[in-house]
């Protein structure tokens, strides 16, 4: 092997395919600035001579890029860290968005169910109001039906008593029939909570008695009920009608009227004694005038 500063000569026995592969490899890895001067291939029998001239050594073709062309490792790490942070924030935002959408969907379902329940309750309330109004009207129209059914037998007994009185003049039988009818009428009222009370002889109570008159009597103490004009009635312990009564008052004392008569007697005597003198004076005056 012999060499100089500008050229290198290599002579050996290699195949043509190896040489072609080497050429293609060199062409791929050489930069645009590298200059290829001569590539010579000589084949003489079994041996091949290769002569190549290059301005740069083969080691220069595989040299790494300069520091100015390669980006700094710190900037790459910072960019990579920022990308990872942005990616994590994006995933967190997506997760929060999915969670928010799920809550909104659940809230919408609950609001829809609440609205449906409100509509059903409003319909039920309206139906109840109509039903209550109808029942109220029925009570007002037919509430006294049971009372009337209990009073109808009383009416029948009164009709029988009138027929019996027309056929027979027996007053005792008529009186007994009327008393029995009144008893049945009172029993019918009692079944419906109506109860009468008597006020005769009791102390006058303005809460249950209504005074229509006062009389002087010594039969009952003053301030008590002397007579009962109309009975009072309760309906289930509630006053329906007060009793109309006559209240007793203490009689006036007769001794207080005798004393003025005793004092008036002297005045009467004096008048009698003075009475005769009046005619004498009239006579004298008449004579004088004549």
Give domain status of residue 200, yes or no: yes
Higher pLDDT, 243 or 253: 243
Higher pLDDT, 144 or 65: 144
- Which residues, in sequence order, are CB contacts of 220 under 8 Å at separation 6+? 201, 226, 248
**Digit-coded pLDDT (tens) for 45-85:** 444 443 444 444 444 444 444 444 555 678 888 888 888 89
The alpha carbon dihedral of 76, 78, 83, 84 has a sign of: positive
Give domain status of residue 243, yes or no: yes
Chain mean pLDDT for the chain: 74
Categorize the per-residue pLDDT at 1 as very low, low, confident or very high, splitting at 50, 70 and 90.
Answer: very low
Give domain status of residue 210, yes or no: yes
Categorize the per-residue pLDDT at 98 as very low, low, confident or very high, splitting at 50, 70 and 90.
Answer: very high
Q: What is the mean pLDDT of residues 24-40?
A: 52
Portion of the chain with pLDDT greater than 70, in percent: 64
Question: What's the domain count of the chain?
Answer: 1
Task: Please give the residue range of the domain that contains residue 219.
Answer: 193-249
Give domain status of residue 222, yes or no: yes
d(CA 67, CA 72): 8
What b/e sequence results for 133-155 when a residue is b if at least 16 CB atoms lie within 10 Å of its CB, and e otherwise? eeeeeeeeeeeeeeeeebbeebe
Give domain status of residue 160, yes or no: no
pLDDT at residue 96 tops 80: yes
As to burial, measured by CB atoms within 10 angstroms (0-12 exposed, 13-18 middle, 19+ buried), residue 41 is middle
Give domain status of residue 230, yes or no: yes
Give domain status of residue 223, yes or no: yes
Report the 10 Å Cβ neighbour count for 209: 19
Give domain status of residue 235, yes or no: yes
């Amino acid at each position: 092997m012999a060499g100089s500063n500008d050229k290198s000569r290599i002579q050996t026995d290699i195949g043509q395919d190896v040489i072609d592969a080497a050429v293609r490899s060199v062409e791929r890895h050489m930069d645009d600035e590298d200059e290829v001067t001569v590539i010579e291939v000589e084949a003489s029998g079994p041996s091949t001579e290769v002569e190549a001239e290059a301005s740069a050594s083969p080691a220069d073709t595989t040299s790494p890029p300069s520091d100015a062309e390669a980006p700094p490792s710190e900037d790459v790490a910072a960019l990579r860290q920022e990308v990872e942070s942005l990616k994590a924030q994006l995933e967190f935002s997506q997760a929060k968005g999915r969670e928010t959408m799920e809550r909104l969907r659940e809230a919408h379902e609950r609001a829809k169910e609440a609205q449906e329940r409100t509509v059903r309750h409003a319909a039920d309330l309206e139906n109840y109001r109509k039903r209550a109004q109808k029942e109220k009207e029925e009570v007002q129209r037919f509430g006294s039906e049971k009372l009337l059914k209990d009073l109808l037998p009383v009416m029948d007994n009164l009709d029988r008593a009138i027929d019996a009185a027309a056929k027979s003049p027996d007053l005792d039988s008529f009186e007994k029939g009327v008393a029995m009818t009144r008893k049945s009428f009172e029993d019918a009222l009692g079944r419906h909570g109506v109860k009468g009370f008597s006020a005769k002889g009791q102390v006058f109570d303005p809460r249950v008695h209504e005074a229509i008159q006062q009389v002087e009597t010594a039969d009952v103490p003053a301030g008590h009920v002397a007579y009962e004009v109309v009975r009072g009635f309760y309906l289930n312990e509630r006053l329906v009608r007060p009793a109309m009564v006559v209240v007793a008052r203490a009689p006036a004392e007769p001794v207080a009227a005798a004393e003025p008569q005793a004092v008036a007697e002297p005045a009467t005597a004096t008048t009698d004694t003075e009475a005769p003198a009046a005619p004498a004076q009239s006579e004298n005056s008449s004579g004088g005038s004549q």
